[in-house]
Structure 1
Amino acid sequence: MHAVLLADEDDFEGWRDSARGLAIAGVPPRDVTWQVGQGGGELFGDEAPPPAADGPAFAVPRAFLTLAQTVICHSDPERFALLYTLLCRIRSNSKAMEDGADAIVQRLERMAKEVRRDMHKMHAFLRFREVAEEGAERFVAWFEPDHHIVRATAGFFVRRFAGMRWSILTPELSIHWDGERLTEGPGAARADAPSGDPVEETWKTYYSSIFNPARLKVGAMLKEMPKKYWKNMPETALVAPLIAGAQGREAAMVEASKRKLSEAEVQGLATADKAERRLQPGSNALAAWEAILADAKACTHCHLYKHATQTVFGEGPLDARIMFVGEQPGDQEDLAGRPFVGPAGQLFDRALGEAGVDRTQTYVTNAVKHFKFERRGKRRIHQKPEAPEIEACRWWIEQERTLIRPPVTVALGATAARSLFGRVMTISRVRGEPLELPDGGEAWVTVHPSFLLRLPDPDKKRDEYARFVEDLARIGQRAKALG
């Protein structure tokens, strides 16, 4: 028997190196035991350590390594042995992973799916709360994952909250980010995490305003957001009354139909929630938007805030049928604090007018909220945002779209498309056709108006401008068709 002692529950590198040496030495899976911790005591006293991997190297499919990295994070103690068994099969049959009927392949794929789902829940249901700490702000969150995913998800939170000082506490281990370095600490208890902070009332106002009873499916909601996570999230205190209110409105509509009210009265009940969302003083929607704006003005999620004049947030009616997303504010936008007011914005306004789209009835924003530039003397020259900066600002776009719920969202340029879809997209391949966003909404992609300004050839500029106007006209007609 060969005993393998791994450093941690998610020690992929340790498993990989040991498994490679065992496979090269031809050790069958039944002769290997896998253990995690500081030592196995007398249980492993007479067992041999794994042999060194000094034999001929062998290749495995990239898909297997990806699967193994994910499955290692699972809580099933048999995962190491199952992965080693599959590795041995792959060494003798490179297509072993393609056998979808194989019980081990099915079990490992199921484990990987459960790990990915747990990671998704950590991304979605973890809530930071501010704690008092001398010298600087600090935020602390508590989470209880089902699997060993904390290290695997750390990068997500570092990218998303790069400018914050935060800690995530879990029963197994804790991770801490000081703005520059990520460190680990021992596990914690729920009592070690704060129970609330002043920001939560603002968050509850926002959540109430975006709650959509027309899409309410209680069973599906509980499946996606089990009650286990409710105690971590301030907005869940509102779920029961919001559900009750939605059910009350539904009952009113049913009663209205029984009493054979006029079509106008029934329609009035059906559109009550939409009316409440309009940008009016005192409305929930306006309060929520103002709360998001206040947070965005203090955003330090990436380094761009250090040099820009101010955050440039979106503007427009909250019941807009079209939401335009550009790249980032330019020099004039940075100074004015409003999107699309510089040369590209003026060209954009002219094109919208020719396309028959009223800009005042659209919501206009940018994928990145701070101006990125290179200073040359007194001039500030625009620089294209990079992936971490786009990712850091995606949260703001998601909140704007969630609040406004536009029937049509338009990406102006490649940066905006990457922000909306979460991946690099080629404009020429997707331009001019409706696309489905990850959340189910409809999006269109076209060029950014600054692209037209940069074209040196007059004829080319004229043709591309005409095509841009045509895109905007089709988008306007589509928004009308969606009602």
Structure 2
Amino acid sequence: MTYAVTLPDLGTLDAWRTAARIAISHRIAPDLIDWTGGGGLFAASPLPDQQGSHQAKVPAAFFDIAKSAIWHKSPDRAALLYQALWRIDRRIGDPLSAADPLGRRLQLLAKNVRRDIHKMHAFVRFRELPSVGPRRRFAAWFEPEHHTLEPGVPFFAKRFADMDWMIATPELTAHFEGGKLRFGPAAARPDLPDDASEGLWATYFANIFNPARIKLDAMRSEMPKKYWKNLPETQLIPAMLKDAEARVQRMREAGSTPARPGAAAISTRYRAAMPQAPDLPDTLDQAQAAAMQCRRCNLCEKATQTVWGRGAPNAALMIVGEQPGDREDLEGLPFVGPAGQVLHKAMAEAGVDPAKAWLTNAVKHFKFTPRGKQRIHQSPDRAEIEHCRWWLGLELGFVQPRLTVALGASAAYALTGNAGPMKDRVGKVEQGLHDGPVLVTWHPSYILRLPDPSTARADLVAALYEAQARTK
């Protein structure tokens, strides 16, 4: 039996949650539900009226994604969310991870919706209307990219609670009157009167414009041209850009005082410490650039730098170690110290070309204890590994290896979530949190510490040989 669900334009999130809760309680598989209303050739039944016997438990992170992604204009957003709910309930991989194709798709949907809501908060421009009562009246027109009026208007209701206002869009209209919010049908773009305050705002905008910091691509990214027609200040931009070069020259001629000694170093350190935007990177290079400013845990405070992975960005084989060592921390490259030499020799024996693999670590910063002039390695704890799993997940998602080799217990835990003893796992393939195979073996640094490393080294070479055979 197949089922059809029609989600309303208003109250979409609550309607989806109710339908999904009923469907999962009856263990209805995702491929049996048409979330677009069932308008195909074959008749579909509505979902049952009552809850089933099964009770699903989902993490709060799922609802954080769902409450944003459900407002996306993608016709399959409801189906994708239910697929994730089904997999969470059945414990099939990690459908919320950026390393999982479904998780990455949902995170991108949620990211686009959050960005659209931010654009609405930034670019809605109210104009005052005649009023007959004590409360002032305003109206605005906005054209969102997604169904974001309903989740976006509580911001205005809280900020402008002492006014009556309306926001009209091509899909819905929000009315706030007497302190109460309601929604109505779509409306044509209203003929709004001129607002005297716009002249004051335009004057302010023109005076804060810095012609020496023009970045047109960044400007269009933050203020897309589709919104310009509703923003009074954008009418000034062409003229300001035309005069920018002359204004910069006048600023140069005015001169400036030299910076104090040491200011450049302090400024560089300050900028590096600034928090980064939480948006999901779109490419492997963007992920690396974001990781350079990582402050997800305290390891960044002592380490010299973030050590990102290197190799082929589309490698079939990924090799994951524990963390950078002293040499890696100083050079900014993985596996260049003594343990790296052991690994590279083992790779050569197994016929694994480092240039065709992706080499990285579960933790991107060097954890150590100072002892005199030396920095003594310390293993990262679980919390640090879990904090850094974000970056490892991005590497897995962008590289998409067919097989991942976990070197040691920390890497194995980061990739699989299994903290079991290594002696029972070496040479075995386990299921990763990214829903891909993970081959577990010894870390080269462990081999270096053994009085007789021959057996463990043979295990490492054998694992790499098997990895090479699996990824040819």
Larger proportion of helix = 1
Instruction: Return 5+ residue gaps in structure 1 as ranges.
Output: 257-264, 271-483
Whole-Å separation in 2 of the counterparts to 1:80 and 1:56: 21
* 1:54 match: 52
Aligned to 1:150: 149
CA RMSD, 1 decimal: 2.4
Query: What residue ranges of structure 2 are gaps of 5+ in the alignment?
Result: 259-472
**What is the TM-score when the length of structure 2 is the normalising length?**
0.51
Instruction: Quote the offset at 1:56 in angstroms.
Output: 2.9
1:5 partner SS: coil
Map 1:187-198; keep pairs closer than 5 Å.
187-190=186-189, 192-198=190-196
The equivalent residue for 1:416 is none
Q: Match for residue 238 of structure 1?
A: 236
Alignment of 1:74-153 (within 5 A): 74-93=72-91, 96-97=94-95, 99-135=97-133, 136-153=135-152
Contact preservation (8 Å) 2:58, 2:88: yes
Provide the secondary structure at the position in 2 that maps to 1:97. coil
Could you tell me how far 1:82 is from its partner in structure 2? 0.7
Shift of 1:224: 0.8
| Aligned pairs for 1:70-469 within 5 A | 70-93=68-91, 96-97=94-95, 99-135=97-133, 136-190=135-189, 192-251=190-249, 265-267=253-255
Amino acid at match of 1:113: K
Question: What is the alpha-carbon distance in structure 1 between the residues aligned to residue 248 and residue 153 of structure 2?
Answer: 42
Counterpart AA for 2:147: H
Which residue of 1 is the match for residue 32 of structure 2? Answer: 31
Could you tell me whether the CA contact under 8 Å between 2:138 and 2:165 is conserved in 1?
yes
Any conservation in 1 of the 2:62–2:96 contact (CA below 8 Å)? no
Aligned residue for 2:36, secondary structure, equals strand
Give the match's secondary structure for 2:173.
strand
C-alpha deviation, 1:65, in angstroms: 0.8
Q: Does 1:14 align with 2:11?
A: no
Q: Distance in 2 between matches of 1:110 and 1:194?
A: 35
CA distance in 2, matches of 1:193, 1:178: 20
Deviation at 1:215, TM superposition (A): 2.7
Check conservation: 1:128, 1:140, Cα contact below 8 A: yes
Contact between 1:9 and 1:148, CA under 8 Å: does it hold in 2? Answer: no
- Letter of the 2:25 partner, please give it: I
The percentage of aligned residue pairs carrying the same residue is: 44
Residues in 1 aligned to 2:84 and 2:102: alpha-carbon distance in whole angstroms: 7
**In structure 1, distance between residues paired with 2:6 and 2:214:** 49
> What is the distance in 1 between the residues matched to 2:107 and 2:223?
23
The 3 A distance-change label for structure 1 pair 245 and 183 is same
* 1:453 aligned partner: none
2-structure distance, mates of 1:193, 1:91:
51
Q: 1:142 touches 1:193 (CA, 8 Å); kept in 2?
A: no
Offset of residue 182 of structure 1: 0.7
Shift in alpha-carbon separation, 1:92–1:53, aligned structure 2, 3 A: same
Give the 3 Å change call, closer, same or farther, for CA 186–99 of structure 1 in structure 2. Answer: closer
Cα distance in structure 2, aligned partners of 1:26 and 1:202 = 60
CA–CA separation in structure 2 for the residues paired with 1:241 and 1:66: 43
> How far apart, CA to CA, are the structure 1 residues paired with 2:126 and 2:198?
10
Structure 1 distance, partners of 2:178, 2:200, is: 25
1:97 shift after superposition? 3.4
Q: Deviations over 1:290-332 (max 9, x none)?
A: xxxxxxxxxxxxxxxxxxxxxxxxxxxxxxxxxxxxxxxxxxx
In the TM superposition, residue 105 of structure 1 has moved relative to its aligned partner by 0.9
Give the stretch that moved more between structures: 6-15 or 67-76.
6-15
CA distance in 2, matches of 1:205, 1:55: 64
Q: 1:158 to 1:9 in 2, by over 3 A?
A: closer
Aligned partner of 1:47: which letter?
A
**Alpha-carbon distance, 1:126 to partner:** 0.6
Shift of 1:209: 2.1
Superimposed CA distance per residue, residues 137-178 of structure 1 (whole angstroms, 9 cap, x where no aligned partner):
310010000000101011100111111111001010111111
Amino acid corresponding to residue 22 of structure 1 in structure 2: A
Residue correspondences, number: 255
Question: Counterpart amino acid of 1:155?
Answer: P
Q: Is the 8 A contact 1:60 1:94 kept in 2?
A: no
- What TM-score do the two structures reach when normalised by structure 1? 0.50
User: What per-residue deviation string (whole Å, max 9, x for no partner) do you get for residues 393-416 of structure 1?
Assistant: xxxxxxxxxxxxxxxxxxxxxxxx
Shift of 1:195: 5.0
| Matching residue's letter, 1:85 | Q
Q: Residue 102 and residue 242 in structure 1: after superposition, are their counterparts in 2 closer, same or farther (change >3 A)?
A: same
Partner Cα separation in structure 1 for residue 179 and residue 224 of structure 2: 34
Aligned-pair CA distance for 1:251? 4.7
Q: Which amino acid aligns with 1:180?
A: G
Opposite residue 199 of structure 1, the aligned amino acid is S
Residues in 2 aligned to 1:168 and 1:217: alpha-carbon distance in whole angstroms: 31
CA–CA distance in 2 between the matches of 1:252 and 1:181?
A: 52
**1:328-350 residue CA offsets vs partner (Å, 9 max, x unmatched):** xxxxxxxxxxxxxxxxxxxxxxx
Q: Distance in 1 between matches of 2:256 and 2:152?
A: 46
Equivalent position SS for 1:6: coil
Q: By how many angstroms is 1:53 displaced? A: 1.9
C-alpha contact 1:207 1:235 (8 A) present in aligned 2: yes
Given residue 173 of structure 1, which amino acid in structure 2 is its aligned partner?
L
Deviation digits for residues 232-279 of structure 1, max 9, x if unmatched? 1111111111222222223556xx7xxxxxxxx450799xxxxxxxxx
Whole-Å Cα distance in 2 between the matches of residues 85 and 59 of structure 1?
15
Cα distance, 1:177–1:48 mapped onto 2, change above 3 Å: same
1:350-408 deviation per Cα after TM superposition (whole angstroms, max 9, x unaligned): xxxxxxxxxxxxxxxxxxxxxxxxxxxxxxxxxxxxxxxxxxxxxxxxxxxxxxxxxxx
Distance of 2:166 and 2:127 partners within structure 1 = 10
AA paired with 1:112? A
